[in-house]
Amino acid sequence: MTTAVRSTPPPPRPPRQAEEGLSFYAPPFAEEGREGARTAVLAELARQLGDRLSVASAVRTQHGNTTTWVANQPPDAVAFPSSAEEVQAIVRTCATHGLPIIPFGVGTSLEGQVNAPLGGVSIDFRDMNRVLAVHPEDLDCVVEPGVTRKQLNAFLRDYGVFFPLDPGADASIGGMAATRASGTNAVRYGTMKDNVLALKAVLANGAMITTSRRARKSAAGYDLTRLLVGSEGTLAVITEITLRLHGIPEAIAGGVCPFPSVEAACEATIATIQSGIPVARIELLDALQVKAVNAYSKLTLPERPLLCVEFHGSASGVEEQSARFGEIAADLGGGPFEWATKAEDRTRLWQARHDAYWAALGLRPGAKAIASDVCVPISRLAECVTATQADIAASRLVAPIVGHVGDGNFHLSILVDMADADEIRRTEELLERMVERALAMEGTCTGEHGVGQGKMKYLKAEHGDTALLAMRAIKTALDPQNVMNPGKIVTLG
């Protein structure tokens, strides 16, 4: 009798579909090893997806972090599913062998969220970008995760509704939900936490859950929608999103107003919000950012702190709101406040804000822009921004500031010479102090960019040991194998 010698043991038995529920895969056989798991998964996925699985080096690199200085860590392969069922099959295949799964929208996240520190399969939602339903009467729609916010708004235009959230980039709705994104008009319309009504998502064992219904409100049990919004792919893979929509306003007024100081601009912001003016956007550019835009866009704005504002409503409403804002600004030494309602005039006035990112890069050609955000209670904003400006100067760094000031949120774009180790050290220290300052002011280490790899180290200081343990307990309960985007937000073990 001959005995067969197995070089690799069989993969762990997956839970059967019917018993799937919340039973998860056992940890992979140690003997299979990472290489064995990788080989088995790639062979199985190639069979399932054909040429919609790529192992090309350039494609893998493009699916690691490319936006900031967080080092690029590419996945082993990139899968391009075209249905939720295919996503389930990919997750089951990966989880059976304990290989990580990293969801990918369009890769604009800034804290290393899409990196694959342990390898694994990136799931790119490029081909899942359909708008599945629009319910204008209920002001909601149902979309696949790969649709970008601009694609969605182009689709919605004829329905007289729009999806307002606007992070600078043309991000995917899945990525925006997963990072709890916001942007320039969150002050009026809220963040993704306020605009996602329900999700369908694939858990770490391949089971599909629906987190809520289309009803505007619900008190039915734990709020799984808000648990997954902001979870950065570490708990589940989102395959469908029900979004809240808003009516396209009858009129929009937009304008710009210089101020003598950051304090005056922040005071004007607070007074505007406290007096109940429903401002749709209120953005601060510090003097350095205005200087950058003047050079980049050939403008002649006074090189002082600038507020860019926008009002949505009826024609008479936006006129009244603009007039009231102008009075508030003048009381605080600001002005002249230039505003307009025609789209082309508004675009011209807002050019400074629209071009801010590219203009900042122009301040120091060849340097890498390191973007980072914090958020504080709005009453502490002026203090936080001015202390950060003083710190930038003391650190001998170039870092213009742009802020979604209606929310107390601001960003630094630090222009760093990546060949200069001392400059990199000074940048890291500046960012640490900015976070410490925000936390000391009862703020948060990130208002909108999320945690990823870059801000994990701050969660303990922000939330405390016990809250962090609660986050770990949730992660362990939903992903005991640690296959869902591991190495982000919380570590296990």
Nearest approach, Cβ of residue 108 and ligand FAD (Å):
3
Among 233, 249, 406, 408, binds ligand FAD (CB under 6 A): 233
Is residue 362 a contact point for ligand FAD (CB under 6 A)? no
Residue 392 binds ligand FAD, judged by CB under 6 A:
no
Interface map 423-452 toward ligand FAD (x if CB under 6 A): -------------------------xxx--
Nearest to ligand FAD of 108, 351 (CB atom): 108
Which of 37, 237 has the CB closer to ligand FAD? 237
Residues 6+ apart with CB under 8 A from 335: 257, 258, 326, 329
Amino acid at 149: R
Residue least distant from ligand FAD (Cβ): 175
Q: What is the sign of the dihedral through the CA atoms of 108, 362, 290 and 310?
A: negative
DSSP state letter for 382? H
- Please name the helix (run of DSSP H) or strand (run of DSSP E) that holds residue 401, with its range, or none: strand 401-404
Q: Determine, following the binding rule CB under 6 A, whether residue 183 of this chain makes contact with ligand FAD.
A: yes
Cβ atoms of 414 and 407 closer than 8 Å: no
Q: Which two tokens stand for residue 279?
A: 């401002």
Residues 450-479 within binding reach of ligand FAD (CB under 6 A)? 450
Is 120 one of the binding residues for ligand FAD (CB under 6 A)?
Answer: no
Judge contact between 127 and 146, C-beta under 8 A: yes
255/329 Cα distance (integer angstroms): 12
Among 62, 73, 109, 185, interactor with ligand FAD by CB under 6 A: 109
Beta strands 131-135; 140-143: pairing state: antiparallel
What's phi and psi for 255, nearest 5 deg? -160, 180
Among 147, 176, 268, 280, binds ligand FAD (CB under 6 A): 176
Contact call for residue 185 and ligand FAD (CB under 6 A) = no
Residue 172 found at the interface with ligand FAD (CB under 6 A) = yes
Neighbours of 433 (CB within 10 A): 15
- Distance in Å, CB of 160 to ligand FAD, minimum: 26
Distance between CA 204 and CA 267 in Å, rounded? 47
**Which of 114, 196, 207, 435 is close enough to bind ligand FAD by CB under 6 A?**
114
Sole window of 90-98, 180-188, 291-299, 463-471 interacting with ligand FAD (rule: CB under 6 A): 180-188
Q: Does 167 bind ligand FAD (CB under 6 A)?
A: yes
The encoded tokens of residue 231 equal: 């979870």
Measured distance CA(207)–CA(213) in Å, rounded: 18
**CA–CA distance, 261 with 385 (Å, rounded to integer):** 11
Task: Examine residue 400 and tell whether it contacts ligand FAD (CB under 6 A).
Answer: no
196 binds ligand FAD (CB under 6 A): no
Q: Which amino acid is at 86?
A: E
Contact 461, 444 (CB under 8 A): no
Q: Which amino acid belongs to residue 325?
A: F
Cβ distance to ligand FAD smaller for residue 106 or 285? 106
Which of 42, 70, 203, 238 touches ligand FAD by CB under 6 A? Answer: 238
Q: Which two tokens stand for residue 48?
A: 């399932």
Question: What does the binding site for ligand FAD look like in residue numbers (CB under 6 A)?
Answer: 67, 102-110, 113-114, 125, 145, 167-169, 171-172, 174-176, 178-179, 181-183, 232-233, 237-238, 357, 448-450, 485
